[in-house]
Each structure stands twice: as C-alpha cells, then as structure tokens.
Structure 1
Amino acid sequence: MNIALLANPTAGKGRRAALLPEVVARLEAGGHAVDVVTATTRDGMVERGRAAVAGGKAVVAMGGDGTVHLGLQAVAGTGAAFGIVPAGTGNDFAVRLGLPGDTLHAADAIARSTGTRDVDLARVEGGDGTTAWFGAVMAAGFDAFVNERANRMRWPRGPQRYNLAIVGELLALRARRYTMRIDGNESVFESVLVAIGNTESYGGGFRIVPGADPADGLLDVVVAEPLSRLTLMRLRPKVFKGTHVRDPRVSTFRAKTVELAAEGVTVYADGERICPLPVTITCVPGALNLMC
C-alpha cells in the first residue's frame, strides 16, 4: 500500500514528534511505501491530503483530533483507506472508534491492516457556503464560545489560556435562542449548551453525547435548558461519565439530519472552527473507510 502520512509535529504539545521516524519505520516494515506529508497551514494539509487521494494513496493521520479532522476533509466519501496514529492530547475520535491509544501500537496495527471497516461521518453545510466533515462532536453552545474566546486570546499560552476562556465565558453566560429541525420537525428554544455527535466525546473524554454510535446512520443531539453558572459547572463533571443526560433539564435526540440556526454562534467540530450558524448537519453512513 502507498501511504500519505499526514504528520503534525505540534500535536500533543509536541511530546510525540520524536516518534515520527519510528512510526514511518513500522509502517514500512509492514511492506508499505510511506510519504510524509506536512504543511504550514490547515488548508495546505487538506490540499496535500486530497492530492494523495487523487494519486491513489491511502491516508494516515498522525496527530490529535485536529489533524484527524484535516485528514477527514481529504478522504471522506472518496473510498480511500484512512488510518489514525493518535499523537494528540485527547484523541477522542480514535478512542471512540476503539483504536489503539498508544502511538506506536497504532502504527503497528495499521502496518498489519488487511482491510477496512465502514464508519459514519457527519457532513456540515453552512449558510455561508462552508462545507466540512467531522467525525466526533460539533459544539454549538457554551463550549463553542469557549473555543472562540480562547482562539482570540494571545496570552497566556498552553492549557491556562483555555481555562481563562472558560472563566470569561462563565461570566458572560447567557442563553441563546435556537431554531432546530430534527429530520424536518422544527422546535424553537433557549439554551446554553447544544452539541451534535457522531461519536460520544470531545475535549479529551467529555462524553457529551453518550451512546453515539458511528455505525448506526444517525446523529446524536444534546440540548440543555438555560442554566445558571453554578448549575452548569456542577453539571460539567458528570459529562465525563455521560450521566448529565439524566438531568431533567437536558434533552437528547437522534436524527439523520439536523438543521440549526441562531444569531451570533460559531460552531466548532473536532475542536476546529467551522462556520457561523445556520448549518445543516447530515449523517453519511460509511463515508469513511477505516483501516482495521
């Protein structure tokens, strides 16, 4: 197999960058030809991934959820084989797909791969013309605002910036008015938390949409009623176990297609900025051919 290895040396704070030569060696030991692909921009990485697919290559993403997200833009719906070598901080998509969490073990598994399995992906179409795919979760509420704030901040660097962004968004917390169509059935509501998942978790293990199955042809939706700052923070630890959905103020839905609109909301998927609302999200069964 000819493999284009999309490698992000900064994933996981760069801790696993030194493993790149060993990952290449292990893939080559499986009889594969490996071309390491890097780029200085997100668009550049996607373009190089698409060029590899056009050239008949399989694509393997080595990095975190962000790197995997870029790889999905290149392979989704093409029939190209796709592999994941987790090297990020959270690696939510890989974990929920049951793939090896260790970087080198994952490389060994791909080297031995004899086939693929079908995995659903979510396709996003924005009102501004944006199109994108995601594998894990789209955030369209509090967590999306936290990401947006953190991306605007220039100080401090590292995890502390995200923590400060959480504090800032808690202070600014207010419910937004959403219009949502679940397979054509419309509802209008106010909420502080809206998430749509193909798999269960984001943010390094937050099981925001517990039970989401990337092989059932459906999206899972979680919506929380307007909550106070204190209630939101008390609910947040329950997300690690997925027990927040037992709270009567939290509603869940399943659908093939979700249309979502609100003023002043920019959505994030797989931790990456996508576009402002409105969006239409559609589950596309078997859009990904995952190496196994």
Structure 2
Amino acid sequence: MSLLATSDSSFPLLVVLNPHAGRKQGREQFTTIVKPALDKAEIPFRLIETTAKGHALTYFKENTQRILSDLAQSLATTSTKDLILQIMVLGGDGTVHEIVNGVLGALKCLYHAQSEFQPKIMFSVIPTGTGNSIATSLGIKSVQDAIDRYLSGNTQALRVMTVSTRDERPPTAPSVSVSSPPSPVPFQEWNVQLYTVVVNSFGLHAATVYEAEGFRSLGNDRFKLSALKNIALLQQYSATVDLYGPIQRYDGTVGEFEAVPTANATSPEEAANVLSRHLPGPFTYLLITKQASMEPGFKPTPFARASDEWLDVLCVQNVGRLTMLKILGEAKSGAHIDDWRVQYFKAKVVELETPQGGRLCVDGEFLPIGAGLSGRVRVEVVSDPQVQLFHVFA
C-alpha cells in the first residue's frame, strides 16, 4: 500500500483507493470525478492506494493510532471524543470490511489505557467495487451521487456485527443466571474472530461467493454465473440455527414483522442467552445481514437497516432447484419474502452449528467452521460503544 502526498497537512479526509476492485475503474473515477469534486470544495485529503487484498487491513491496523494523533494535532485537541476521522472508500464492501477490522484491531490496546476512547469514523462509500452492498442499500446510484452525499454531510450509523467462535480454554461458570432453555454455550465463552458490516452467509450464497472469485473479470455477472452453477449442482447444507433474545418474524399475509413471544429475562446478558427459535435445517440458503441489498437488482433482506440494532436473517430450508430459482428471481424486487418457503426474521443473536463443518462467508471472506458444538459460530450486533464507532454518509 502506498501513501501518496496530501494536498494539505491538516487533513479531514482519507481517501482509500482500491484500484483492483470491481472492473478496476477506481483510479479513473478518482481522477475524473472524485478529485475534481474535492478540489472544487477545497477539501484537503490524504490518498492511500491499496496494492493487494489484505493491505487495507494491515495499513489501518498499523497506522490508525498515528493517523488519529496527526488528526488531533491538526485540530489542536487532546480529547479523543472530538476526533472525527472521515474515510472515503473507492472500492467494494471488502475494502470497508478490511478498514473496519484494521481500525478496531489498532484501537484494542487503547481501550485499556483510555476507557473513553471513542473517536467517530465516518465512511463515504464510493461504489467502484463488484457488489457495492452498502452503497446500493443506501440508494447510491453512481460515483457522483456518492460524492454529493458526502458533501451534504448527512450521516447514519453503520452498525457492526461480530462473528465469534467458542473459546478453546476450559469453560468457566457464567457470571449471570441463564433462563431455561439456556444457550448451549454461555455468553462468556465466545471469542470474536471478525467484525462484519455487510453479510454472513451459509449454504448456497456462501458457495456462490466462494466460486465467483474465479470469475472476477466478469464484474457482477460472476455471481450470476456462479449461482447458476451451484443451483445446477444444488446441495442441502446440514446445520441448525438458533435465534436468541427478542425476535420478530415477517408475516407475508399482513406484509409486516410481528414480535415472537419470548421468555422473560432480567438483563440484556440473560436475554441474549434465551432461546427463542430453533431452525433444524438442512439449509439451502442462509443470510445473516445488516444490508437490504447485496448488489444492484438483488434485495434478499429488503427491511434490513445498517443503522438499527437488528440482524436480518433469511432462511430457506431444504428446497429444490426450481423453487430456489423462483425465490432468487423474486429477490430482484424483494417479493420473495412473501413465499411461504422463505423464513425472514429479525434477531439480536444467531448461532449456527453444523455436524460436518464447512465455511461461513463473512463480507466476502471465508471463516472455516468446525463440526459439532466446538465449531459453533455466534453472530450478533455489537452494543459496545468502543466498537460502534462507525457512521456512513447517506
């Protein structure tokens, strides 16, 4: 990764350019649209250009503290709560994912020394990637549209999810009582593996994204080609999914979500371990996401909101090829959620367990899943204000 010269030492903005994202037009879009707009608005910036997958993660993990220190000096402040770091991303969702994980990785050591260290990180997402889920879910239709939204200054929260696996150390007694039926794994035993802002998937969607890596030159069409291949060789993926705490289920007959009664709990920690719904599988398709759209023309979870406290969970269990093709076709408009074979929930905590092992797609990366209880994975929206630092220009 290269750090190019800044137009001013007092910078309010980092521009992260991934020239390899999507159809590799990011550098041209920066030169012809983004830079002229920033220069016209007299907004100084530092340009960071990535050179390979994983470089944004490494760069921000190694340099976030220095960047914030430089920003504090430029603002002549010592208060971390006054710091607002703006990051404009010319790339796809994978680049945003890397930056989020890099920033949070860099800030972990500061949390111990300064318990109130809570800078604001504001993303401007310029859609030059392949899927552009964040930008599409916000209704951003072009590079110029994204620039206009940045200049308008309106933002909303970009809530972070955690993907956790079991701690390998011997379990300890939970610090809170857990209502019956309890979670098979107490809350205290989970270790965060990744932070995610777009999607976690299992089954057909994960297989599609995995195989689409080999067709990157086709742009968005690579997902269609990979999906058709995987539907032709359709598999059913053995797993169980458990939803904990308050949940809502979409009712297609009335066209809205309805709360599902759950057991009472005396604290949020306890509620997070109260089992509300068990889905036995096998699964053809499973998404756990914070975004309404995965790409233009594909809206699998149309009521998802990046700014709210819910996970949107879309499940299709044990269906055949023709049914799956019909569901995916209707997902172009979001009409598939009225199909009785599609289950659509809003939940706070989701756990996945598979008897055979497999892989979970996490914002385009792939997390191996071990078989059985020891390989159980937990996804939840973070409530910790030292993690929920991110906003997006909308």
**TM-score when normalising by structure 1:** 0.85
The residue aligned with 1:266 is: 359
CA RMSD, Structure 1 to Structure 2 (Å): 2.7
Does residue 227 in structure 1 map to residue 319 in structure 2? yes
Q: Relative to structure 1, is the Cα distance of residues 78 and 196 closer, same or farther in structure 2, using a 3 angstrom cutoff? A: farther
Aligned residue in 1 for 2:142: 102
Greater RCO, CA 8 A, separation 6+: 1
8 Å CA contact retained: 2:157, 2:306: no
Alignment of 1:3-152 (within 5 A): 3-21=13-31, 22-51=33-62, 53-54=64-65, 55-56=67-68, 57-75=85-103, 79-98=120-139, 100-113=140-153, 116-126=155-165, 131-151=193-213
Q: Is residue 238 of structure 1 aligned with residue 330 of structure 2?
A: yes
Does the aligned pair in 2 maintain the 1:58–1:80 contact within 8 Å? yes
Please report how far the alpha carbon of residue 94 of structure 1 lies from its aligned counterpart in structure 2 after TM superposition: 1.4
Q: CA shift at 1:93, angstroms?
A: 0.8
Structure 1 10/41 Cα, relative in aligned 2: closer, same or farther at 3 Å? closer
Q: Once the 2 structures are TM-superposed, how far is the Cα of residue 16 of structure 1 from its aligned partner?
A: 4.4
**Structure 2: gaps (5+ residues):** 1-10, 69-84, 105-117, 168-190, 245-272, 370-375
In structure 2, what is the equivalent of residue 173 of structure 1? 234
Distance 1:74 1:3, change over 3 A: farther
The structure richer in strand per residue is 1
- Rate the CA distance shift 1:84–1:150 in 2: closer, same or farther, 3 A: closer
Helix, strand or coil for the counterpart of 1:12? Answer: coil
Secondary structure of the structure 2 residue equivalent to 1:13: coil
Equivalent residue of 2:240, what SS? strand
Identify unmatched segments of 5+ residues in structure 1: none
Tell me the distance in 2 between the aligned counterparts of 1:4 and 1:49: 11
Once the two structures are superposed, residues 139-194 of structure 1 have per-residue CA deviations (whole angstroms, 9 ceiling, x without a partner) of 2120111222333x4x7952565444334322332212212221142623211111
In the alignment, structure 1 residue 212 sits paired with structure 2 residue 298: no
Rg larger in structure: 2
Query: 1:40: Cα distance to partner?
Result: 2.2
Determine the structure 1 residue equivalent to 2:382: 284
Normalised TM-score (structure 2): 0.65
Change (3 A) 1:203 1:97: closer
Aligned length: 287
Once the two structures are overlaid, the 10-residue window that deviates more, 278-287 or 126-135, is 126-135
Shift of 1:108: 3.9
CA contact (8 A) 1:261 1:279 kept: yes
The answer to whether the 8 A contact 2:136-2:296 is kept is no
